[in-house]
Amino acid sequence: MPSDHPRLIDQLKGGLDAPICLTWELTYGCNLACVHCLSSSGRRDPNELSTAEAKAVIDELRDLQVFYVNIGGGEPTIRSDFYELIDYSVAQGVGVKFSTNGSTINPARAARLAGSDYVDVQISIDGADEATNDAVRGVGSFAMARRAMDHLATAGFGPFKISVVVTRQNVAQLDAFADLADGYGAQLRLTRLRPSGRGADVWHELHPTNEQQVDLYRWLLDRPDVLTGDSFFHLSALGESLPGLNLCGAGRVVCLIDPVGDVYACPFVLHSEFKAGQVRDPGGFTRVWRQSPLFLSLREPTSAGACASCGSYDACQGGCMAAKFFTGLPLDGPDPECVKGYGEAALAGVAAGSAPSPGIGHSSPVTFRRR
């Protein structure tokens, strides 16, 4: 009977006994210093999980039957045990999808990766040409990423992913990104810029304008094959819903494990307010996932709050928690990029300097000169 089968969305909002997948930042170290880095990465943290501790986390994921893990950082491949860990994960039945700037993907490594059926690779760029990209990711980063893509293609890796954070500067290049991906037989992923990590410093100048958001929405509707990681569900209030779950899975079906073993609701809320626990504590990751007060509260039904009178709440779900939090907006109100303009209005009421700060994190003390 239909009444015995609640909607999938409602099941997922209530949380699952284990994540479907999760993001695991393996290290805060990175050889780049992208201006918008969500994890403020740069320097390794002396307290990062050891190889043994990382394997213990993988064992837990295996026991939880997590299907795959999204490995990032920082630049995860700078860990000397990176390949050992991904091989171990695959051997335990946990698939691996990792995100990289491409700096360590030489022909030998590309060939090695091409030999694994259970490892997926995503390469990050933020511009379709060197000038646009390097302004965000640093001199030489575009060429490095393209070399990695070339090596993967030559090695017969198959479809890898190209991931782009959409900004005011690159939103005019969407067709060029699609062409680049097509040229490699790769999949394109576009993700949303959040005011998280170093992104807090540049969000106001780099996030797309209202008109650009509408253009992006229309472009995405025309290209259902472009991945978004459900990053833009706040745009679904513009009309037809974008493909995807259209809900925030943080603490419900996904979460983040950081390099020192802290567990957060998602990669965009590296802040004590959204810290659920620590994998080194008794009960490990499993106990955090199933019993942390933060996650249990995220699995409670939420009300529309200030958005109750807006007819679009069902479509946009009030948008992104991280975007609201780091712009100083209340979580039970509009997203700062609310397509109806309610977020912009709300931002006007936020006192300067009052938004929660992500802190300097592991940002390298060296500042890059931006063009």
Partner 1 sequence: MTNPGGAVASEETVSEEEDLVEEDLLVEEISIDGMCGVY
Partner 2 sequence: MFDSSTAYRLDPKVALRPEPFGALAYHYGSRRLTFLRSKLLADVVADLGDYESVDSALDQRVPAGQHRAYRQALASLATSEFICAV
**Binder of partner 1 out of 18, 21, 66, 316 (CB under 8 A):** 21
Question: Which of partner 2, partner 1, none interacts with 117 (beta carbon under 5 to 8 A by kind)?
Answer: partner 2
Q: By CB under 8 A, is residue 222 in contact with partner 2? A: no
Q: By CB under 8 A, is residue 15 in contact with partner 2? A: no
158 or 283: whose CB is closer to partner 2? 158
Question: Which of partner 2, partner 1, none interacts with 18 (beta carbon under 5 to 8 A by kind)?
Answer: partner 2
Q: Record the tokens describing residue 73, joined without a space.
A: 């950082």
Q: By CB under 8 A, is residue 239 in contact with partner 1? A: no
Question: Which of partner 2, partner 1, none interacts with 353 (beta carbon under 5 to 8 A by kind)?
Answer: none
Q: By CB under 8 A, is residue 257 in contact with partner 1? A: no
Q: By CB under 8 A, is residue 94 in contact with partner 1? A: no
Let me know: does 274 contact 320? Beta carbons within 8 Å. no
Question: Which of partner 2, partner 1, none interacts with 17 (beta carbon under 5 to 8 A by kind)?
Answer: partner 2
Cβ-defined contacts of 312-316 (< 8 Å, 24+)? 312/237, 312/339, 312/340, 315/236, 315/237, 315/241, 315/246, 316/233, 316/234, 316/235, 316/236, 316/237
**Binder of partner 1 out of 93, 158, 244, 356 (CB under 8 A):** 244
Sign of the dihedral through C-alpha 68, 74, 77, 82: negative
135 or 315: whose CB is closer to partner 1? 315
Let me know: does 193 contact 212? Beta carbons within 8 Å. no
Give the total of residues touching partner 2 (CB under 8 A): 16
Q: By CB under 8 A, is residue 236 in contact with partner 1? A: no
User: What is the footprint of partner 2 within residues 88-117 (CB under 8 A)?
Assistant: 93, 95, 117
**Binder of partner 2 out of 59, 111, 118, 332 (CB under 8 A):** 118
Question: Which of partner 1, partner 2, none interacts with 211 (beta carbon under 5 to 8 A by kind)?
Answer: none
Question: Which of partner 1, partner 2, none interacts with 75 (beta carbon under 5 to 8 A by kind)?
Answer: none
Q: By CB under 8 A, is residue 247 in contact with partner 2? A: no
As measured in angstroms, the least distance from the Cβ of 158 to partner 2 is: 12
Q: By CB under 8 A, is residue 296 in contact with partner 2? A: no
- Residues near partner 1 (CB under 8 A): 2, 5, 8, 20-23, 70-72, 97-99, 120, 122, 161, 163, 189, 191, 227-231, 243-246, 248-250, 253-254, 256, 266-268
Query: Given the rule CB under 8 A, which residues bind partner 2?
Result: 5-6, 8, 11, 16-18, 20, 65, 67-68, 93, 95, 117-118, 120
